[in-house]
């Protein structure tokens, strides 16, 4: 805790000094480039981020451009309170203000939207790894439970935008990059505008041999967004993507194996074959699509309606078996919004709507004969329905006080039956009691650039399909939902030209009935409600153009960014399993300190240089705190050059390096692993280079 206080004090001192200095600077010279104002659409309509009474981080196109273009992990980890992992290429995990303990595989307990359509299915699973990095142009990360508008979650919400709304002309782009360990990534994008119509097409191919043995990955990706502005403010759009992703899973290593040769895949034992022998991997095909319509009845009333469907073909040859899943999802989301007349003293807005989803899954397990599907073991059907009603009221008083109240009523149920070996004729139903998820928030504008905020919200998260029917093939209808209350306050500050930005928050979040996995001796998993979690924390995000962007001088822009995450997440007094109590232990999978610092230089002749440093403290690997992954320091850098050929054509050439300090670390540990096989080694120092052309 003393180190936490030191870091916090130093950072806040720097922020105050920088803020005062920025306010005392003379007016910007005429050659200074104006910065695009930061806005968000997270709460149903676009608004400046300054007055939003919530912890929210915006990842815009400029932030995506300076990152390696092969994974969402680095850019997500640059945001305070967010932890993304990639145990092997293509194998994502994601948490927001919480533990990855619930997610040994995939993304759970975080609700993700692709445009206005939920990417998270009714069963609570999200195939984030299906999406190509270059097809997303903006991300908004809402931290803490936000079920009042987005349904069941206790983690947070991510909104992904597939079209760059600031690019309003027709263009064609083509890019190619490659690097260490057989990395190749090719992508093209077309935007065609004709009157009131716009077509966006994206295509990508990515291949990666991987640092570790048996860790190859390749993905083919196609995406389409077709929009029609049929009135001044009204738009209809069709959107969707197809993704084909295959990747090998090398498996976890013991500490001795990790120290001897971290590049190896999990070896065989006397009783269990290894990853290579069993050809362990993921074969995932996903088709996602829908239609979104926004219609304004008049100056006050508008409606947004989306209908959607998804189909996933998923196969996972594993060490012990071969799982095959066929999942289909369909649903709709709609809301109405009323905006009052503009008044000097008081104006308000109200929203009300519904989101409904149905996911039907065939989940089948077979023997794994060296990577080939063998004799049937268990064949199940699980149909899941999740829907919620929501309403929100927002009021602004004298352009100073912003008050929000929101509430959702959440319904969740599933039915299941076994086709083999029991040949059940009828489904068994499991319904959960409808739950209210309120959120109350306010923000007070102390000055034109300085806002204080506070909020109280409830989180509620039902067990996912993968938790109800885990790898031990036993359906558990007794698994309960987890829930909790989050209390938060914070501040947000801009200077006049928005070149300096500070966002800070402190929170306390208590979760009841935490859903966590446990493992049998044969390494199959099952889930229990283990007890409560105490999650107090502090997050700070600071960014400043120390040298504002301009058209003269050697350094034509210098941006400093600092992201700080400090927390003390522990198990509550009632947290236990059959082996005993873990009360007071640090929450498994969560580092208590993460510091990310970056500098971006703009140089003459359209050269740029970006460098980022990430310090992550040690991470507990077991609930009993008997093993820890050591702290690590990551350094990455990227340099590039833009060259304009004529009025529209632009060439970009760039090169970069990751893990410049050549750290030995694991980016995605296996928690409470059988045989203490915790470690999935990340790549040592590696390099990449690429180019892109915009016509």
Per residue in 180-212, pLDDT (tens digit) is 999 999 999 999 999 999 999 999 999 999 999
pLDDT in tens, 424-459: 999 999 999 999 999 999 999 999 899 999 999 999
Q: Is the pLDDT of residue 408 over 70?
A: yes
Average pLDDT of the residues of the chain? 92
pLDDT in tens, 226-252: 999 999 999 999 999 999 999 999 999
pLDDT in tens, 316-340: 999 989 999 999 999 999 999 999 9
Nearest to 145 by CA among 497, 426, 427, 511: 511
In three-state secondary structure terms, 421 is coil
Q: What pLDDT is attached to residue 344?
A: 76
CA distance 620 to 623: 7
For the chain, give the percent of residues with pLDDT over 90: 83
C-beta of residue 41 within 8 angstroms of C-beta of residue 60: no
Residues 399-405, mean pLDDT to the nearest whole number:
93
pLDDT in tens, 545-574: 999 999 999 999 999 999 999 999 999 999
Residue 52 DSSP symbol: -
C-beta of residue 75 within 8 angstroms of C-beta of residue 63: yes
Q: How far is CA 62 from CA 18, 35, 405, in A?
A: 23, 11, 33
CA distance 191 to 171: 5
Q: Is the pLDDT of residue 5 over 70?
A: no
pLDDT band at 31 (very low <50, low <70, confident <90, very high): low
Q: Is the pLDDT of residue 399 over 90?
A: no
In three-state secondary structure terms, 451 is strand
Residues ≥6 apart with Cβ < 8 Å to 7: 564, 566, 593, 595
In three-state secondary structure terms, 32 is strand
Residues ≥6 apart with Cβ < 8 Å to 583: 571, 572, 573, 574, 575, 576
pLDDT in tens, 472-502: 999 999 999 999 999 999 999 999 888 999 9
Conformation bin of residue 11: beta by default, left when phi > 0, alpha when psi is -120 to 50: alpha
CA distance 15 to 236: 44
Q: How far is CA 435 from CA 113, 387, 409, 411, 511, in A?
A: 22, 11, 6, 7, 15
Q: Is the pLDDT of residue 255 over 90?
A: yes
Instruction: Give the pair of three-digit tokens for residue 306.
Output: 């989306």
ω into 421 cis (within 30 of 0): yes
Q: Distance from CA of residue 444 to its chain's centroid?
A: 29
Between 175 and 109, the higher pLDDT residue: 175
Residues 540-547, mean pLDDT to the nearest whole number:
96
Secondary structure element (H or E) that encloses residue 594, with its range: strand 593-603
Residue for token pair 């919530």: 54
pLDDT in tens, 332-391: 999 999 999 887 789 999 999 999 999 999 999 999 999 999 999 999 999 999 999 999
pLDDT in tens, 502-531: 999 999 999 999 999 998 888 889 999 999
CA distance 501 to 414: 45
Q: What pLDDT is attached to residue 14?
A: 44
pLDDT in tens, 273-324: 999 999 999 999 999 999 999 999 999 999 999 999 999 999 999 998 999 9
Q: Is the pLDDT of residue 55 over 90?
A: yes
pLDDT band at 32 (very low <50, low <70, confident <90, very high): low
Q: Is the pLDDT of residue 10 over 70?
A: no
pLDDT band at 170 (very low <50, low <70, confident <90, very high): very high
Residue for token pair 């309120």: 438
């Amino acid at each position: 805790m003393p180190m936490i206080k030191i870091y916090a004090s130093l950072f806040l001192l720097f922020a105050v000094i920088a803020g005062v200095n920025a306010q005392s600077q003379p007016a910007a010279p005429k050659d200074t480039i104006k910065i695009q104002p930061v806005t968000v659409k997270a709460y149903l309509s676009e608004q400046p981020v300054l007055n939003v009474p919530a912890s929210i981080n915006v990842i815009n196109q400029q932030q995506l451009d300076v990152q390696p273009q092969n994974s969402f992990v680095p850019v997500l980890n640059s945001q305070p309170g967010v932890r993304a992992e990639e145990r092997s290429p293509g194998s994502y995990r994601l948490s927001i203000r919480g533990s990855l303990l619930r997610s040994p595989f995939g993304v759970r307990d975080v609700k993700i939207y692709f445009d206005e359509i939920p990417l998270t299915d009714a069963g609570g699973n999200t195939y984030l790894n299906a999406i190509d990095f270059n097809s997303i142009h903006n991300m908004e990360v809402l931290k803490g439970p936000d079920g009042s508008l987005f349904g069941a979650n206790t983690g947070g919400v991510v909104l992904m935008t597939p079209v760059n709304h600031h690019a309003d002309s027709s263009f064609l782009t083509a890019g190619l990059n490659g690097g260490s360990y057989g990395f190749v990534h090719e992508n093209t994008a077309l935007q065609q505008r004709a009157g009131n119509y716009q077509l966006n097409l994206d295509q990508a191919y990515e291949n990666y041999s991987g640092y570790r043995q048996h860790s190859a990955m390749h993905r083919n990706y196609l995406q389409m967004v077709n929009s029609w502005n049929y009135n001044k403010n009204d738009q209809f759009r069709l959107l969707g993507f197809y993704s084909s992703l295959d990747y090998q899973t090398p498996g976890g290593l013991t500490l001795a194996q990790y120290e001897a040769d971290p590049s190896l895949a999990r070896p065989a034992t006397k009783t269990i074959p290894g990853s290579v022998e069993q050809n362990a991997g993921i074969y995932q095909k996903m088709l996602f699509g829908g239609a979104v319509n926004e219609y304004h009845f008049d100056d006050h009333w508008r409606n947004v309606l989306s209908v959607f469907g998804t189909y996933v073909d998923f196969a996972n040859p594993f060490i012990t078996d071969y799982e095959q899943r066929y999942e289909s999802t369909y649903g709709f989301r709609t809301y109405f919004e009323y905006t009052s007349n503009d008044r000097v003293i008081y104006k308000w807005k109200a929203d009300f709507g519904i989101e409904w989803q149905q996911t039907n899954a065939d989940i089948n397990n077979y023997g794994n004969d060296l990577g080939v599907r063998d004799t049937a073991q268990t064949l199940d059907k699980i149909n899941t329905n999740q829907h919620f009603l929501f309403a929100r009221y927002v009021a602004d008083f004298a352009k100073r006080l912003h008050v929000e109240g929101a509430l959702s009523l959440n319904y969740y149920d599933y039915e299941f039956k076994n086709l083999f070996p029991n040949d059940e004729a009828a489904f068994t139903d499991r319904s959960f009691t409808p739950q209210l998820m309120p959120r109350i928030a306010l923000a007070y504008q102390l000055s034109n650039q300085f806002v204080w905020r506070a909020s109280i919200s409830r989180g509620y998260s039902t067990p996912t399909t993968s938790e109800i029917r885990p790898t031990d093939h036993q359906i558990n209808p007794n698994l309960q939902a987890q829930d909790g209350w989050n209390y938060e306050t914070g501040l947000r500050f801009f200077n006049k030209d928005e070149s300096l930005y500070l966002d800070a928050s402190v929170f306390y979040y208590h979760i009841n009935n935490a859903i966590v996995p446990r493992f049998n001796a044969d390494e199959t998993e099952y889930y229990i409600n283990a007890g409560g979690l105490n999650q107090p924390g502090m997050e700070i995000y600071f960014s400043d153009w120390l040298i504002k962007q301009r058209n003269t001088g050697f350094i034509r822009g210098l941006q400093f960014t600092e992201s700080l995450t400090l927390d003390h997440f522990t198990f509550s007094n009632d947290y236990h399993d059959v082996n005993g109590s873990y009360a007071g232990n640090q929450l498994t999978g969560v580092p208590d300190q993460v510091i990310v610092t970056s500098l971006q230089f703009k140089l003459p002749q359209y050269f740029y240089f970006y460098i980022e440093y990430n310090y992550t403290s040690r991470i507990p690997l077991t609930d009993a705190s008997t093993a820890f992954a050591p702290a690590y320091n990551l350094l990455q850098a990227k340099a590039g050059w833009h060259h304009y050929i004529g009025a529209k054509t632009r060439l970009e050439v760039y090169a970069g390096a990751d893990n410049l300090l050549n750290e030995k670390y694991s980016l995605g540990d296996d928690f409470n692993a059988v045989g203490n096989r915790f470690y999935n080694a990340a790549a040592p120092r590696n390099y990449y280079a690429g180019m892109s052309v915009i016509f």
